[in-house]
Amino acid sequence: MKNLEKRVLTSIIVFPFSIFFIIKGGYYIVSFLYAILILGNFEVFSNFKKKLTIIVLDLILVASLFAILFLRNDTASSYVLLIWVIILTIASDIGGYIFGKLFKWKKLTKISPNKTVSGAIGSFIFSILSVFLIGFIIEFLTEIDSEIFQKPRYFILAIIFSLAAQVGDITISYFKRLEKIKDTGKLLPGHGGIFDRIDSLMFVVITAYIIYYFKIFP
């Protein structure tokens, strides 16, 4: 459980740090995203050799950063959505790790040997729990009525976002497996590098942008 403690501690530190820049907005969020872009690109170009892999990963990274910036700056609703998906992604990751360690069920995929069916279920459960958590948080950050999160569709969205997070995790694991590497860096204890930390989030924020664009949220 030592690695779990590192993951939880890292999430506790990274989450408020990220939320700080998102809340501040303006040059703060732009500078923060630029830093992620630079660090992410450094890891990609340092660890991956296949040109197609580098192009695909860089496109995903850039698209996700633009999605974050758009959701932060468009409306109060998109702002809330961004905060929610960040919370949900962290919850999904921790839930998957805890359930995967506690319940030794069969492997989910050969692409990522550590992924299990129990871990996937844990990710869905913790993601659904994030619906209740975001309701309390937005009362402190916006004037949006937190009761909107009691609607059934937000629990369905939680499942969709969790699925996107897990697909993102597995997809990046696939590219790392092709290069025969475990982590893209050692910057974040328990998680590896920047790319290892945001692999799920990249796919979730892109999915969130699409859902927001088609007015499925709020």
SS3 label, residue 188: strand
- Give the tokens for residue 162: 């969790």
Residue 58 in contact with residue 184, Cβ under 8 Å? no
Report the range of poorest mean pLDDT among 32-46, 104-118, 120-134, 200-214.
104-118
Residue 196 in contact with residue 185, Cβ under 8 Å? yes
| Listed residue (165, 137, 141) closest to 149, CA to CA | 137
Tell me, yes or no, if the pTM score tops 0.75. Answer: yes
Helical ranges in 148-216 per DSSP H:
152-179, 194-213
Q: What is the pLDDT of residue 142?
A: 63
What letter represents residue 142's amino acid? T
Over residues 35-71, the pLDDT tens digits come to 999 988 988 888 888 899 999 999 999 999 999 999 9
What letter represents residue 164's amino acid? A
Over residues 105-121, the pLDDT tens digits come to 778 777 777 788 898 99
What is the average pLDDT across 6-27? Answer: 74
The string of DSSP codes covering 108-150 is S-SSSTT-BHHHHHHHHHHHHHHHHHHHHHHHHH-SS-GGGGG
SS3 label, residue 107: strand
What percentage of the chain has pLDDT greater than the value 70? 83
| Listed residue (174, 168, 159) closest to 123, CA to CA | 159
**What distance in Å separates the CA atoms of residue 81 and residue 110, rounded to the nearest whole number?**
33
Which long-range CB contacts under 8 A does 177-181 form with residues at least 24 apart? 177/111, 177/112, 178/50, 178/53, 179/47, 179/48, 179/49, 179/50, 179/53, 181/47
